[in-house]
Amino acid sequence: MTTWMDIVVVCPKCDTTFKGTVIGSCGYAGKDTDFYPRYWGANPLPHFVKVCPSCNYADHPSKFKQGTPRQDVPREEKLPCWRRYELVAETQRQDGASTFTLAQTLHRAAWGARAVDRDKTKELEFLHQARELFQQALSEDGVPTEPDDLRPIITYLVGELYRRTGEESIALEWFAKVLPMLDGGEELEWLTKLVESQTALAQKSHTENLSKE
């Protein structure tokens, strides 16, 4: 069950006071194969970030100051969910955020397009952008290795985002890199299973595409 409440915040950039919704609690049942949590009840994704109605500064609610409730406080604008995360990425770029952080934010923009806006074109556009940035983060050693080494998970994810954007043969190359990265411990057994199932899926559509040509 998703619960939410209204808060009044002040934009740290232009001092505009506005009202917005924040999530009190939420839960999910299962995840998509690119880790999107399938929330039950109202989708909380749009409300995890706030967007200033005056200057479009966008970030997590904790980055805004608390404001005083007044009658005439404007409400946060209704924007597509993907746009909210696109604006957060713009804020993060200006703040010099890491490639990995930007990749995560644009991946959430894709989730928003998929699960909230139901906009396939935007979903694919952001999956593509996120994939390029995750790939860049891997190549510049920008993927966290502490407290957990996320590199095998992100390597799988790059493959899965290639698969989701219709590039099965490249997806297969990325999936093939994952298992040699694992030390055989039980901890990432779920990842081994995921790599196996998504490899099978990618192989199937790859073969079907070849037979169409």
Binding site for Zn ion (CB under 5 A): 11, 13-14, 16, 52, 54-55, 57
Distances (CA, A) of 50 to 56, 198, 204: 9, 35, 41
CB of 52 to Zn ion, least distance (A): 3
> How many CB atoms lie under 10 A from the CB of residue 40?
13
CB of 56 to Zn ion, least distance (A): 7
CB of 51 to Zn ion, least distance (A): 9
Which residue, among 144, 122, 150, 157, has the nearest Cα to 36 in the 3D structure?
A: 157
Q: Are strands 65-66 and 50-51 parallel, antiparallel or unpaired?
A: unpaired
Q: Closer CB to Zn ion, residue 75 or residue 193?
A: 75
Q: Closer CB to Zn ion, residue 51 or residue 113?
A: 51
Q: Closer CB to Zn ion, residue 53 or residue 152?
A: 53
CB of 53 to Zn ion, least distance (A): 8
Q: Closer CB to Zn ion, residue 11 or residue 106?
A: 11
- In DSSP terms, 66 is beta-bridged to 9
CA geometry: angle at 154 spanning 177 and 190, to 5°? 80
Q: Closer CB to Zn ion, residue 52 or residue 116?
A: 52
CB of 129 to Zn ion, least distance (A): 25
**Distance, CA of 151 to CA of 95 (rounded, Å):** 24
